[in-house]
Structure 1
Amino acid sequence: MLINNQVKIIFLFVLFSIPVPAIVFLIFGDIAGGISLLVFLFLSYILYRYSGKILLRWYRAEKVASLENISKKAEISPPDMYLFDHPLPLIFTVGTGGRYAVALSSEAMDMFDKSELEILFAHEIGHIKNGDVQLNTIVALFAGSFAAVSTLALWGALFMGFGQNYDPAPRFIRFFSMGLVAPPAALVAQLLVACSREHVADETAVELTGNSQMLVESLERLKHQVDLNQVGVNPGHAHMFPLNVLHVTELYDIHLLLFNTHPSLESRSNRLKEASKKI
């Protein structure tokens, strides 16, 4: 799985790095094409090396501690723990090159008790142990950047005097721009991120904590809170969270259907019940 994920990462960066240098080569010749290729390779290295930090800055997350205990059980290096403000109870893990960070929203910190947080952290540790995080991070950077274009279009419309963000004109502009960027952004997520990774992370969490029921209950509580507070998140980041946090409430949100890479909570609950019998 880890080797396959590395191949996917290389494929994504090749896809990013080749087109522009190829065009420059055809128009301006060998030297210009070679220089542009070197520039894009350097940019690819920077994006790979710092993608986790970029996403943490995206959410204005701040480091508060390290996850020592649960990491010791999993026999991995402890990731750093970050906190960020958000009205939804979110948790995600980012990082590349063996350095990882688990980010927790302020709402999740307030909502879950110590035992529930421990098992949610165990789920994230499962993603680290199973080699999911590097690919998740790179996909979130690319797909999230594509998806952010629609938000930029909305703000551009507002600054140009098209009214408020709930008025028809700016919403249509956002809908139109999202229609352009959603297919490639969602295609990146759907092709590269496997929904089975959540099942494996769930099973790892149960192995580390021995409590499948609490994981199911914590995920159900998280889903209930997300359903009650349908706050928008960048759809290109949706695969990083423990379950699907995207909601289609009207036609303007129809593109969000393309970004769901999570198995149903019911299927995960059934798998966890089976896994708990083996412990």
Structure 2
Amino acid sequence: MISIPAPVIAFLLLGPVGFVATLALFILLSYVLYSYSGKILLKWYKAKKVGSLENLAVKAGVVTPDMYMFDHHLPMIFTAGTRGKFDIAVSSGAMGLFDASELEVMLAREIGHILNNDVPMNTMVALFAGSLASVSTFALWGALLGGFGQDYDPAPRFIRFLGMGLVAVPSALIAQLALSPSREIMVDAVSVELTKEPKLLADTLEYMQKYVGHYPMSLNPGHAHLFPLNLLSMEEFYDMHLSLFNTHPDVDIRVKQIMSKVN
């Protein structure tokens, strides 16, 4: 939809040749973005390949995803990719927080996203919503470089707040319209099916929720939907926009759904 006016303008200014050239350029750019959006997200987090996730993939009957690791204190796990090639990225915080069995049930959820064909949409939403949400970070750095003090001082924080105010609604709207909260409940069910560990999954989600509540949030809100639960927290006035980006059902609701599968 965004690309339609540019070819029209090119037609008015340059005629049919300009229209065709501009339209071809936008089609090419769209194809490149779609094809490489997963790799772009992995580069965003400076993730490094460490192996593959064969056993769970074979159980689920999906193509084996590569596994990546990246440095972040929050326990973050996400799957990115399009066109049938998917990669699962795990943060250093998740590796430190979860033991082997807990990590397995969380990785099984990511396999569920692949099985349910959630990943291409999740990836594209993260790319576009995350890019829009980055405007607030640019505003903060612009304020700091402009001599407004440290990042915790009122002036740069308020400038960042104003920047987010401009982009929060369109950025969050992309996520809210494109993604259904039910996808998380569905992949919880896939994890239970693959691992046969409903109580462990429920306990791990609750443990993760309690853990992230004790640590400061440093996360692009346009990427919030990628992770197993909502990692965004409103700690002060400057965080008021973050509630717009939550596309996850409450953990309590998910735990009840999971435990309902216990015999």
One fold, TM greater than 0.5?
Answer: yes
2:194 aligned partner: 208
Which structure 2 residues correspond to residues 161-176 of structure 1 after superposition, within 5 A? 161-176=147-162
Q: Secondary structure at the match of 1:104?
A: strand
Unaligned residue ranges in structure 2 (runs of 5+): none
Q: 1:89 aligns with which of 63, 70, 75?
A: 75
Question: Structure 1 268/161 Cα, relative in aligned 2: closer, same or farther at 3 Å?
Answer: same
Q: Secondary structure at the match of 1:76?
A: coil
Deviation at 1:28, TM superposition (A): 4.1
Moved more, 165-174 or 200-209: 165-174
* Unpaired stretches in structure 1, ≥5 consecutive residues: 1-14
Counterpart position of 1:195:
181
CA contact (8 A) 1:206 1:276 kept: no
TM-score by length of 1: 0.91
Spell out, residue by residue over 1:51-96, the C-alpha distance to the aligned partner (whole angstroms, 9 max, x if none): 0000000000000010011111111111000000001011000010
Q: Does 1:104 align with 2:98?
A: no
Aligned residues: 263
Aligned partner of residue 51 in structure 1, secondary structure:
helix
Residue 178 of structure 1, CA deviation: 0.7
Amino acid at match of 2:66: D
| CA positional deviation for 1:206 | 0.3
Match of 2:134 among 148, 162, 180: 148
Question: In structure 2, what is the Cα distance between the partners aligned to 1:159 and 1:24?
Answer: 37
Answer yes or no: is the 8 Å Cα contact 2:105–2:191 preserved in 1.
Answer: yes
Equivalence for 1:9: none
CA drift of 1:233 comes to: 0.3
Secondary structure of the corresponding residue to residue 276 of structure 1: coil
Aligned ranges 1:30-109 → 2 under 5 Å: 30-109=16-95
Within 5 Å, which residues of 2 pair with 1:17-32?
17-32=3-18
Deviation, 1:47, is: 0.4
SS in 1 for 2:217: coil
Does structure 1 residue 252 correspond to structure 2 residue 238?
yes
Distance 2:5 2:255 in 1: 43
CA distance change for structure 1 residues 26 and 249 in 2, over 3 Å: closer, same or farther?
A: farther
Q: Is the 8 A contact 2:105 2:195 kept in 1?
A: yes
Richer in helix (by share): 1
CA–CA separation in structure 2 for the residues paired with 1:149 and 1:24: 28
User: Hey, what does 2:229 align to over in structure 1?
Assistant: 243
Contact 2:202 2:259 in 1 (8 A): no
1:169 & 1:20 partners in 2: Cα distance?
Answer: 37
1:267 and 2:250 correspond: no
AA in 1 matched with 2:206: E
Give secondary structure in 1 for the equivalent of 2:213. Answer: helix
Match in the other structure for 2:110: 124
After superposition, the Cα gap between the structure-2 partners of 1:213 and 1:19, relative to the gap in structure 1 and judged at 3 Å, is: farther
- Structure 2 Cα separation of the partners of residues 237 and 22 of structure 1: 32
Q: Percent identity?
A: 56
Q: Does 1:135 align with 2:116?
A: no
Cα distance in 1, alignment partners of residues 192 and 71 from structure 2 = 28
Question: Helix, strand or coil: the match of 1:228?
Answer: coil
Contact 2:219 / 2:232 at 8 angstroms: preserved in 1? yes
